Amino acid sequence: ERLASEVGVDLGRARSDPRAAAKKRERDACLAMHELADRYFRYLLGRDEGRAAREYLERRGVSAEMIERFSLGVSPEGWQGLQTVLRRKGFDDDSAIIAGLLTQGKNGRTWDRFRGRLMFPIRDGGGRVIAFGGRTMGDGDPKYLNSAETPIYTKGQHLYGLYEARPAMAKSRRALLAEGYLDVITLHQFGYTDACGVLGTAMTHEQARRLTGLAPKVDLVFDGDPPGRKAALRSAQMFLTLGGACRVVPLPDGEDVDSLLHAAGRDGFEDCLARAEDGLTFCLRLVREASSPKEIITWATDFLGGLADDGLRAVFLPRV
């Protein structure tokens, strides 16, 4: 039932549980509101309200083809733009709050959750919009604002761009995993169409399981700064404990894959791919370089204890 719901298949059975029927109606309403919001944000991108967003995308080198492929849009600066559209289509404010598209203050007033941001729709396995990521185009805070958990979206279960990347992953038998929305879009723009990204949080076991089920090899393309290397260590450990093949692609200090590709092109990124380090080798090197003996023992114990089966433990134990 969960799979059928994700890919939009009607199982054709009457549900005797009235609570299940109510939940289905709630999910259907959330999906309909997200589809409407997606169309609205894309419409605004082509209007006067989208001029700043279009200029920002041009500065970042995002092509018209990528804007279309990833359905990029913009949320209006005002406080009730989307709210007005939802009301006109018959959706009440309470339902839109449950869907995560409106926010309610302590005084009971409601307003758009996303305002004046470049909008990145997040899709489920069937291609339906289930959430959004919004990026400021100036100095606003926070820089990224993501959807809260809703009846159709659970944080840590989905990957940005996975729906768009799955056909290419099936052919390449590899996944490129990046950190940011624009990193993923730039990788696709430069021909790496098997790329997807984490959604503003640390990698989760659910995301790792989902990705290893689609691609037996995962190349981690995280930022070349200390936080990026720390995130790569944690993610590589997850993929290895699940029995997947994993490599860590070294990026120059202070660079992300978006800036690298625009500055050095495919050749520059291919040089990084050629120097990709085996996941376990990377983990062991980073732990040795940055940890005390006590921390090293703790990491090794946690890693070996988290392995999926005894066969993997036999493979990794001598190296660890």
Give the model confidence (pLDDT) of 244-269 as tens digits. Answer: 999 999 999 888 999 999 999 999 99
| DSSP designation for 147 | P
pLDDT at 282: 96
Determine the Cα–Cα distance for residues 257 and 259; give it in Å rounded to an integer: 6
* Cis amide linkage into residue 318, ω under 30° from 0: no
Whether pTM > 0.85 for this model: the answer is yes
What element of type H or E holds 11? none
pLDDT at 278: 96
pLDDT at 14: 54
pLDDT at 15: 59
pLDDT at 16: 63
Angle (deg, nearest 10), helices 205-214 and 162-172: 40
pLDDT at 309: 86
pLDDT at 133: 96
pLDDT at 12: 77
CA angle 107/131/223 to nearest 5° reads 110
Please give the average pLDDT of every successive group of 10 residues along the chain, which has 320 residues: 81 71 92 98 97 96 97 96 97 97 94 97 95 90 91 93 96 95 97 92 89 94 89 94 94 91 96 96 94 95 91 93
pLDDT at 21: 83
pLDDT at 255: 87
* C-beta of residue 131 within 8 angstroms of C-beta of residue 146: yes
